[in-house]
Structure 1
Amino acid sequence: MIKRIPIAQSIVLLISILSVSASSYAAQTEYLEQQKLHDIAAAVSAKRIERDIQSLVSFGTRHTLSETQSETRGIGAARRWIKSEFETISAQCGGCLEILEVKDTIAGEKRIPDPVEVVNIVAIQRGQTMPNRMVMMSGDIDSRVSDVMDFTNDAPGANDNASGVAGVVESARVLSKYQFNGSIVYAALSGEEQGLFGGKILADYAKQQGWQVHAVLNNDMIGNTRGINGVVDNTTARIFSEGTRVTETKEQASTRRFTGGEVDSASRNLARYIDTIADRYIDNLDTMLVYRLDRFGRGGHHRPFNDMGFPAVRIMETNENYNQQHQDLRTENGIEYGDTIEHVDFDYAAKLTSLNAVSLAAMAWAPAPPSDVTISGAVQPSTQLQWQKSADPAVTGYRIYWRYTSEPQWQFSRYVGKVTSATLENIVIDNYYFGVAAVNENGIESPVVFPGYVGAFAH
């Protein structure tokens, strides 16, 4: 006997089925907003950042060659203060931070002629399922005045780079309240002004430990909003990223010449990821993707990680004021020189810290970026992508991205499920660049991986 359903009830049932189907489809094909990432952005405190910058400035100078025994002056006192802050944070989260001194003795260098112990203070928040997968935020402890070898005069270094270190400490405070799949590293690096030695030491350590470093977010000057060019701007920031890897071999360069990828290194796609985070979660902030390793002819502490082959970028203010960088404290012709705390915009520093914290959280919750991504489709009407099956338990599916070759950001995407290959029918490989991101059950994605060595996140 066939049971008849009234027409009105049938319509309601059909609408219900369509609604469920549409909801499931949306969950697979559209980005899902993450309230917890909004919560992380809102939790960053400008007041705490101001307090931390003031504490770092109070040590007088943090020059790499400065006093190490005093409790109140010099880089030694500054390092111990940072370590104590990490210890306090760890105590509040039940010992969730592993705190290390990663160090080495440097000598015989132009800016470090005599033996000096360069000490980085590092805190690791281990992931629950993939503890060896690392995303890192770094800032530089040391400061300087006009003479790079002057380690006795006051060098407050309020913006360069107490702002970056304060951002690292504040991110640890906020993110330590959560648990993640992958690990987060909070790094206060030394020796930057003398030759990027702290970064070199930590990059070497990461390689020796076998860390899978998928992102380094180096923050160097995130507190100035009044540029020497007269521009006052608290709504933009810059993200610098290298093009092709410096570790690329001649054979890999030859392949890239014919397949593309000059603007799709892992670092570039890390920068695009952070830019997308800014658009979605950080109010009143537009990030500028700068396709250059660093500022013209200059350097920062992300470079040693790039030199090792790791994806790394520099995040910083848009408009610098050179009168407040690497300057003796003085007034000349009515112009105040020196990197003092009066020039720091704490709300702006908090905004850029929020960008870091949310980016770290998203990547640590997301699955690892896909590995061994390959592409084919020459003289064919369609494009095929393949990647290795992931051992990361957070993976529930993958999303394919593509864009016109002249576009800076990914334009189109398609969710393809938990597979290891996909074909884009009637999308010709010649006209686009392609990539793959891994997705977790909540819709949080990894950075996009461009096919081949040039785009690989796995080291």
Structure 2
Amino acid sequence: MSRVVPQPLLLAALLAAAGAAGAAEPVAAARQAQIDAIVRDISPQRIQGYVDKLVSFGTRHTMSDTVSDTRGIGAARRWIKSEFERCGAGRLQVAFDGHLHPVDRRISRPTEIVNVVATLPGSQAESRERMYVVSGHYDSRNSDDADAVGDAPGANDDASGTAAVIELACVMSRHKFDATLVFMTVAAEEQGLYGAADWAEKAKQKKLNIAGMFTNDIIGSSHNQDGKRDNTQVRLFAEGIPAVKDMPDNLRALIATGGENDTPTRQLARHVKDVGERYVDGFKVTIVNRRDRYLRGGDHAPFLDRGFAALRFTEPAENFNHQHQNVRKEGALQYGDLTEFVDPAYIAQVARVNAASLAALALAPAAPQEVKIRTARLDNNTDLTWQANAEPDLAGYRIVWRDTTAAQWQGSQLVGKVTAFTVPLSKDNVFFGVQAIDKDGNVSPASYPMPQR
């Protein structure tokens, strides 16, 4: 069960006051002391140390040395595993997860691709099977994607994301959450997202309940290619309708009701923006309504392809002189993905958004299931129904809504521990969602209602 109890009597009073026709409330959630403590504990100094250590392996190319203890991807993954084990002793379940990948476009020989996975099991029986995954890729490359020998420091791409994941695991493993958290550093992103794809496929085959996935890739610099600094925001890429050849019925219904911006991934992004900006002062989560940067990809894509809600964190503006480049100097211009171009204070801010969002998700109930709008009769009210949640600490539900042109939720109403409610607003004019709330005030992402005829 959730361990923080801020003002439970106030929450109960609000739920009771909502009644059958309570007034609309602002869209807000209780602030949790546990999440504040987690956010405070994120350390730029430790993150800098993790980045420096990863860069010290010279190259982390997927096909680089696996025997040396000081150079290559083998040394890197063994160090990551030892770090997870050191800081999460007795709490994190740490393991290598690998497969032998055949020759492919960017793999010249059969190669073992190994992810390093640290799992923090949930403490609530009814929520333990629900998982939230956060990743960074620890492999690196230089100008030649086949060069497994030359230096490829990969400080920003993606020691920054890997360092954030290690820091998240170390800090968050000291706390308990209802749902399960999976901290994962993956390999072969640069060769074709193979580490993430293998893990996501296994998750699909095992029918794991992955309720959300974040990848952190290129989150290390607050300076763009022109030298301008922006350390006040992070981009969050969130796919809408996937580009599938044959559209399943649920997507067809989503489009038919105008819900292109209400996919589970977009709902997850709204939740991250709300929570991240609430707990990380002066830092903006800028949602980009795309799967990824224009025609590019990352480790969240294999999860999206298999039907999981997944998001990508990336810095505001990439500097391509420091990405996929051999280390060299041409005149006054320094090329290469070096530690000197990484801003640990900025990485820490992005890690704090991750931490707050993951904690809020893992403490909250699951998003309501089978949410429907009854459409049997014409009415200017909206009749909503949903399936009851199973969590023992459930306090009730909240209905949220926004104008059809609005990005974030604008209004809300607490409705108590019910599974149906009529809102005096027209379904023609606004989009609705239903959230679950526990007795500590933890709120789930919203679920978009489908039509019930």
TM-score relative to the length of structure 1: 0.90
**1:289 is matched with which residue?**
287
Q: Which stretch of structure 1 is more off in the superposition, 185-194 or 252-261?
A: 252-261
Letter in 1 for 2:128: P
Does the 8 A contact of 2:365 with 2:444 survive in 1? yes
**2:212 is matched with which residue?**
215
1:343 to 322, 341, 344: 341
Shift of 1:195: 0.2
For residue 429 of structure 1, give the secondary structure of its aligned residue in structure 2. Answer: coil
Alignment of 1:104-119 (within 5 A): 104-119=99-114
1:406–1:194 distance in 2 versus 1, CA, 3 Å: same
1:266–1:254 distance in 2 versus 1, CA, 3 Å: closer
Q: Percent identity?
A: 43
For residue 356 of structure 2, give the secondary structure of its aligned residue in structure 1. Answer: helix
Shift of 1:26: 7.9
1:136 maps onto 2:125 in alignment: no
**2:168 is matched with which residue?**
171
1:196 maps onto 2:196 in alignment: no
* Gap runs ≥5 in structure 2: 1-8, 19-24
For residue 86 of structure 2, give the secondary structure of its aligned residue in structure 1. Answer: helix
**1:185 is matched with which residue?**
182
Q: Which stretch of structure 1 is more off in the superposition, 224-233 or 402-411?
A: 224-233
1:326 to 324, 327, 349: 324
Shift of 1:395: 2.1
Letter in 2 for 1:41: V
Question: For 1:363-393, what per-residue CA distance to the aligned partner results, in whole angstroms no more than 9, with x for missing partners?
Answer: 0000111111112346311111111112222
Letter in 2 for 1:417: G
Letter in 2 for 1:109: D
**1:25 is matched with which residue?**
14
**1:14 is matched with which residue?**
none
1:224 maps onto 2:224 in alignment: no
1:41 to 39, 42, 47: 39
1:447 maps onto 2:441 in alignment: no
1:261 to 255, 259, 262: 259
Does the 8 A contact of 2:87 with 2:170 survive in 1? yes
- Find the aligned partners of 2:10 and 2:278 in 1 and give their Cα distance: 26
- Find the aligned partners of 1:250 and 1:446 in 2 and give their Cα distance: 25
Shift of 1:23: 8.4
Q: Which stretch of structure 1 is more off in the superposition, 380-389 or 40-49?
A: 380-389
**1:418 is matched with which residue?**
417
**1:157 is matched with which residue?**
154
Alignment of 1:41-80 (within 5 A): 41-80=39-78
Hey, which bits of structure 1, 4+ residues long, moved more than 6 A? 20-23
- Find the aligned partners of 1:156 and 1:184 in 2 and give their Cα distance: 29
Does the 8 A contact of 1:229 with 1:319 survive in 2? no
- Find the aligned partners of 2:60 and 2:213 in 1 and give their Cα distance: 23
1:382–1:301 distance in 2 versus 1, CA, 3 Å: same
**1:438 is matched with which residue?**
436
- Find the aligned partners of 1:82 and 1:135 in 2 and give their Cα distance: 20
- Find the aligned partners of 1:170 and 1:21 in 2 and give their Cα distance: 34
Greater RCO between the two (CA within 8 Å, min separation 6)? 2
**1:273 is matched with which residue?**
271
Alignment of 1:271-420 (within 5 A): 271-377=269-375, 379-420=378-419
Question: For 1:93-114, what per-residue CA distance to the aligned partner results, in whole angstroms no more than 9, with x for missing partners?
Answer: xx11111222111113101132
Letter in 2 for 1:103: G
For residue 129 of structure 2, give the secondary structure of its aligned residue in structure 1. Answer: strand
- Find the aligned partners of 2:234 and 2:70 in 1 and give their Cα distance: 33
2:81 to 69, 80, 83: 83
Shift of 1:120: 0.4
* Gap runs ≥5 in structure 1: 1-19, 454-459
1:22–1:374 distance in 2 versus 1, CA, 3 Å: closer
- Find the aligned partners of 2:423 and 2:66 in 1 and give their Cα distance: 60
- Find the aligned partners of 2:12 and 2:240 in 1 and give their Cα distance: 39
TM-score relative to the length of structure 2: 0.91
Shift of 1:452: 3.7
- Find the aligned partners of 2:230 and 2:255 in 1 and give their Cα distance: 39
2:117 to 92, 109, 122: 122
1:21–1:51 distance in 2 versus 1, CA, 3 Å: closer
Does the 8 A contact of 1:242 with 1:268 survive in 2? yes
Letter in 2 for 1:195: G
Bigger CA radius of gyration: 1
For residue 430 of structure 1, give the secondary structure of its aligned residue in structure 2. Answer: coil
2:94 to 99, 121, 140: 99
Aligned length: 430
Does the 8 A contact of 2:400 with 2:432 survive in 1? yes
- Find the aligned partners of 2:241 and 2:299 in 1 and give their Cα distance: 18
Q: Which stretch of structure 1 is more off in the superposition, 373-382 or 298-307?
A: 373-382
Letter in 1 for 2:393: A
Does the 8 A contact of 1:61 with 1:152 survive in 2? yes
- Find the aligned partners of 1:21 and 1:213 in 2 and give their Cα distance: 32
Does the 8 A contact of 1:244 with 1:264 survive in 2? no
1:254–1:364 distance in 2 versus 1, CA, 3 Å: closer
- Find the aligned partners of 2:10 and 2:298 in 1 and give their Cα distance: 50
1:254–1:363 distance in 2 versus 1, CA, 3 Å: closer
- Find the aligned partners of 2:59 and 2:239 in 1 and give their Cα distance: 32
Q: Which stretch of structure 1 is more off in the superposition, 370-379 or 151-160?
A: 370-379
For residue 128 of structure 2, give the secondary structure of its aligned residue in structure 1. Answer: strand
Letter in 1 for 2:52: Q
Letter in 1 for 2:82: S
